[in-house]
Amino acid sequence: MKQTKIKICGITRKDQAIEIAEMGIDALGFVMYPPSPRYIPTVELKTILSVLPPYTTTVGVFVNDPLDQVYQTMKSTGLHLAQLHGEESPQYCKELTSRGINWLKAFRIKDHIDNETIKSYSSRYIHLDAWSEEVYGGTGETFAWELAKQLSQEHSLILSGGINEVNAREAINQLHPYAIDLSSSVESSPGIKSIERIRALLMAVRP
Protein backbone atom coordinates (compact mmCIF):
# COMPACT_ATOMS: atom_id res chain seq x y z
CA MET A 1 0.00 0.00 0.00
CA LYS A 2 1.28 3.45 -0.91
CA GLN A 3 2.36 5.81 1.83
CA THR A 4 -0.19 8.52 2.56
CA LYS A 5 1.11 11.95 1.63
CA ILE A 6 1.08 14.84 4.09
CA LYS A 7 0.27 18.50 3.41
CA ILE A 8 0.75 21.26 5.96
CA CYS A 9 -1.42 24.25 5.10
CA GLY A 10 -1.61 27.89 6.15
CA ILE A 11 2.14 28.53 6.29
CA THR A 12 3.14 32.19 6.59
CA ARG A 13 6.80 32.21 7.67
CA LYS A 14 9.83 31.48 5.49
CA ASP A 15 11.89 29.84 8.23
CA GLN A 16 9.07 27.45 9.09
CA ALA A 17 8.38 26.66 5.43
CA ILE A 18 12.00 25.59 4.94
CA GLU A 19 12.10 23.53 8.14
CA ILE A 20 8.79 21.79 7.40
CA ALA A 21 9.80 20.97 3.84
CA GLU A 22 13.13 19.55 5.01
CA MET A 23 11.27 17.27 7.45
CA GLY A 24 9.93 15.40 4.43
CA ILE A 25 6.43 16.89 4.29
CA ASP A 26 5.10 16.33 0.76
CA ALA A 27 3.20 19.59 0.18
CA LEU A 28 2.98 23.06 1.68
CA GLY A 29 -0.20 25.11 1.46
CA PHE A 30 -0.49 28.90 1.27
CA VAL A 31 -3.79 30.69 1.82
CA MET A 32 -4.55 33.32 -0.82
CA TYR A 33 -7.84 34.35 0.80
CA PRO A 34 -7.48 37.78 2.52
CA PRO A 35 -10.16 37.28 5.23
CA SER A 36 -8.25 34.27 6.58
CA PRO A 37 -5.90 34.78 9.55
CA ARG A 38 -3.45 32.61 7.57
CA TYR A 39 -3.49 34.81 4.47
CA ILE A 40 -0.13 35.47 2.89
CA PRO A 41 0.42 38.32 0.40
CA THR A 42 1.84 37.36 -2.99
CA VAL A 43 5.09 39.27 -2.41
CA GLU A 44 5.82 37.31 0.77
CA LEU A 45 4.78 34.05 -0.87
CA LYS A 46 7.26 34.53 -3.71
CA THR A 47 10.06 34.99 -1.17
CA ILE A 48 9.17 31.67 0.48
CA LEU A 49 8.79 29.76 -2.77
CA SER A 50 12.21 30.90 -3.94
CA VAL A 51 13.98 29.02 -1.15
CA LEU A 52 12.02 25.76 -0.94
CA PRO A 53 13.54 22.41 -1.96
CA PRO A 54 12.80 21.60 -5.62
CA TYR A 55 10.62 18.51 -5.02
CA THR A 56 8.23 20.10 -2.53
CA THR A 57 4.73 20.57 -3.95
CA THR A 58 3.31 24.03 -3.31
CA VAL A 59 -0.44 24.67 -3.15
CA GLY A 60 -2.36 27.94 -3.28
CA VAL A 61 -5.71 27.96 -1.50
CA PHE A 62 -8.33 30.15 -3.20
CA VAL A 63 -11.93 30.97 -2.25
CA ASN A 64 -14.36 32.21 -4.95
CA ASP A 65 -11.77 34.37 -6.70
CA PRO A 66 -12.28 35.53 -10.29
CA LEU A 67 -10.77 32.99 -12.62
CA ASP A 68 -8.35 35.49 -14.13
CA GLN A 69 -7.07 36.36 -10.66
CA VAL A 70 -6.35 32.72 -9.83
CA TYR A 71 -4.62 32.27 -13.17
CA GLN A 72 -2.43 35.34 -12.71
CA THR A 73 -1.49 34.39 -9.15
CA MET A 74 -0.57 30.85 -10.14
CA LYS A 75 1.52 32.00 -13.09
CA SER A 76 3.27 34.85 -11.29
CA THR A 77 4.23 32.80 -8.24
CA GLY A 78 4.93 29.38 -9.74
CA LEU A 79 2.61 27.55 -7.33
CA HIS A 80 2.08 23.97 -8.49
CA LEU A 81 -1.58 23.47 -7.60
CA ALA A 82 -4.68 25.60 -7.01
CA GLN A 83 -6.89 24.29 -4.20
CA LEU A 84 -10.38 25.70 -4.72
CA HIS A 85 -12.20 26.01 -1.42
CA GLY A 86 -15.31 27.97 -2.37
CA GLU A 87 -18.27 27.39 -4.68
CA GLU A 88 -16.24 27.18 -7.89
CA SER A 89 -18.21 25.39 -10.63
CA PRO A 90 -17.14 22.46 -12.83
CA GLN A 91 -16.96 24.89 -15.76
CA TYR A 92 -14.67 27.18 -13.77
CA CYS A 93 -12.36 24.22 -13.15
CA LYS A 94 -12.43 23.17 -16.81
CA GLU A 95 -11.40 26.68 -17.78
CA LEU A 96 -8.42 26.52 -15.42
CA THR A 97 -7.43 23.21 -17.03
CA SER A 98 -7.62 24.79 -20.48
CA ARG A 99 -5.23 27.49 -19.26
CA GLY A 100 -2.73 24.94 -17.98
CA ILE A 101 -3.52 25.29 -14.27
CA ASN A 102 -3.65 22.17 -12.12
CA TRP A 103 -6.47 22.34 -9.58
CA LEU A 104 -8.03 20.42 -6.71
CA LYS A 105 -11.64 21.02 -5.65
CA ALA A 106 -12.47 20.99 -1.96
CA PHE A 107 -15.89 19.98 -0.65
CA ARG A 108 -17.01 20.88 2.87
CA ILE A 109 -18.92 18.04 4.49
CA LYS A 110 -21.73 18.59 6.99
CA ASP A 111 -23.98 15.54 7.46
CA HIS A 112 -23.96 13.94 4.00
CA ILE A 113 -21.91 13.76 0.80
CA ASP A 114 -23.43 14.81 -2.53
CA ASN A 115 -21.85 12.22 -4.81
CA GLU A 116 -23.47 13.58 -7.96
CA THR A 117 -22.06 17.05 -7.42
CA ILE A 118 -18.61 15.63 -6.78
CA LYS A 119 -18.79 13.46 -9.90
CA SER A 120 -19.65 16.52 -12.01
CA TYR A 121 -16.09 17.78 -11.55
CA SER A 122 -14.66 14.70 -13.29
CA SER A 123 -11.63 14.58 -11.04
CA ARG A 124 -9.90 11.55 -9.60
CA TYR A 125 -8.63 13.55 -6.63
CA ILE A 126 -11.18 14.94 -4.16
CA HIS A 127 -10.51 17.14 -1.14
CA LEU A 128 -12.89 16.72 1.80
CA ASP A 129 -13.05 19.18 4.71
CA ALA A 130 -15.41 19.82 7.61
CA TRP A 131 -18.31 22.22 7.13
CA SER A 132 -18.43 25.56 8.94
CA GLU A 133 -20.80 28.50 8.51
CA GLU A 134 -18.11 30.94 9.63
CA VAL A 135 -14.99 29.91 7.69
CA TYR A 136 -13.97 28.03 4.57
CA GLY A 137 -11.26 25.92 6.21
CA GLY A 138 -8.88 25.61 9.13
CA THR A 139 -11.76 24.87 11.48
CA GLY A 140 -9.99 22.21 13.53
CA GLU A 141 -13.23 20.21 13.42
CA THR A 142 -13.66 16.73 11.94
CA PHE A 143 -16.60 15.36 9.99
CA ALA A 144 -17.97 11.81 10.17
CA TRP A 145 -15.34 9.94 8.18
CA GLU A 146 -17.65 6.99 7.57
CA LEU A 147 -19.62 9.24 5.20
CA ALA A 148 -16.69 9.05 2.79
CA LYS A 149 -16.32 5.26 2.77
CA GLN A 150 -17.91 4.74 -0.64
CA LEU A 151 -16.24 7.81 -2.09
CA SER A 152 -12.85 6.48 -1.01
CA GLN A 153 -13.39 3.46 -3.27
CA GLU A 154 -14.05 5.65 -6.31
CA HIS A 155 -11.66 8.57 -5.80
CA SER A 156 -8.28 9.39 -4.31
CA LEU A 157 -9.14 11.41 -1.23
CA ILE A 158 -7.32 14.29 0.38
CA LEU A 159 -8.70 14.41 3.91
CA SER A 160 -8.70 17.48 6.16
CA GLY A 161 -10.65 18.90 9.05
CA GLY A 162 -9.48 18.32 12.60
CA ILE A 163 -6.78 15.78 11.75
CA ASN A 164 -3.89 15.85 14.20
CA GLU A 165 -1.04 13.76 15.54
CA VAL A 166 -3.48 11.78 17.72
CA ASN A 167 -6.15 10.76 15.18
CA ALA A 168 -4.18 10.81 11.90
CA ARG A 169 -3.40 7.09 12.01
CA GLU A 170 -7.10 6.32 12.58
CA ALA A 171 -8.07 8.45 9.58
CA ILE A 172 -5.53 6.66 7.41
CA ASN A 173 -6.61 3.22 8.55
CA GLN A 174 -10.29 4.02 8.02
CA LEU A 175 -10.24 5.70 4.59
CA HIS A 176 -6.76 5.02 3.15
CA PRO A 177 -6.61 8.57 1.75
CA TYR A 178 -4.13 9.67 -0.87
CA ALA A 179 -3.16 12.49 1.51
CA ILE A 180 -4.01 14.16 4.80
CA ASP A 181 -4.06 17.95 5.11
CA LEU A 182 -3.40 19.70 8.42
CA SER A 183 -3.51 23.36 9.39
CA SER A 184 -4.87 24.62 12.72
CA SER A 185 -4.18 21.33 14.50
CA VAL A 186 -0.42 21.82 14.12
CA GLU A 187 -0.29 25.49 15.11
CA SER A 188 0.67 27.53 18.13
CA SER A 189 -1.39 30.42 16.68
CA PRO A 190 -3.02 31.06 13.27
CA GLY A 191 -0.32 30.86 10.61
CA ILE A 192 2.43 29.95 13.09
CA LYS A 193 3.14 26.24 13.00
CA SER A 194 4.22 24.02 15.87
CA ILE A 195 7.27 22.13 14.64
CA GLU A 196 6.95 19.82 17.66
CA ARG A 197 3.41 18.81 16.69
CA ILE A 198 4.45 18.20 13.09
CA ARG A 199 7.27 15.96 14.32
CA ALA A 200 4.76 14.10 16.48
CA LEU A 201 2.50 13.70 13.47
CA LEU A 202 5.32 12.20 11.42
CA MET A 203 6.18 9.79 14.24
CA ALA A 204 2.52 8.74 14.38
CA VAL A 205 2.02 8.06 10.68
CA ARG A 206 5.56 7.28 9.51
CA PRO A 207 7.23 5.50 12.45
pLDDT digits (tens, 9 = 90+) for 25-83: 999 999 999 999 999 999 999 999 999 999 999 999 999 999 999 999 999 999 999 99
User: Which member of 9, 65, 93, 181 is catalytic?
Assistant: 9
9 catalytic residue (yes or no): yes
Rg (CA), the chain: 16
CA distance 56 to 102: 15
129 catalytic residue (yes or no): yes
Q: What pLDDT score was predicted for residue 135?
A: 47
Q: Give the Cβ contact number of residue 108 at 10 Å.
A: 20
CA distance 201 to 114: 30
Could you tell me whether strands 179-182 and 156-160 are parallel, antiparallel, or unpaired per DSSP bridges? parallel
User: Which member of 65, 93, 114, 129 is catalytic?
Assistant: 129
Q: What pLDDT score was predicted for residue 140?
A: 56
CATH number at residue 69: 3.20.20.70
Q: What pLDDT score was predicted for residue 151?
A: 86
**Backbone phi, psi, residue 13, to 5°:** -115, 135
Q: What pLDDT score was predicted for residue 132?
A: 58
Q: Which residues of the chain have pLDDT under 50?
A: 135-138
CA distance 105 to 126: 6
Number of domains in the chain: 1
Q: What pLDDT score was predicted for residue 175?
A: 92
Which structural domain range is residue 169 located in? 5-205
Angle at 105 between CA 101 and CA 109, to 5 degrees: 170
Burial (CB < 10 A; 0-12, 13-18, 19+), residue 100, is exposed
Q: What pLDDT score was predicted for residue 133?
A: 54
Handedness of CA 166, 24, 127, 194 (dihedral sign): positive
CA distance 94 to 66: 14
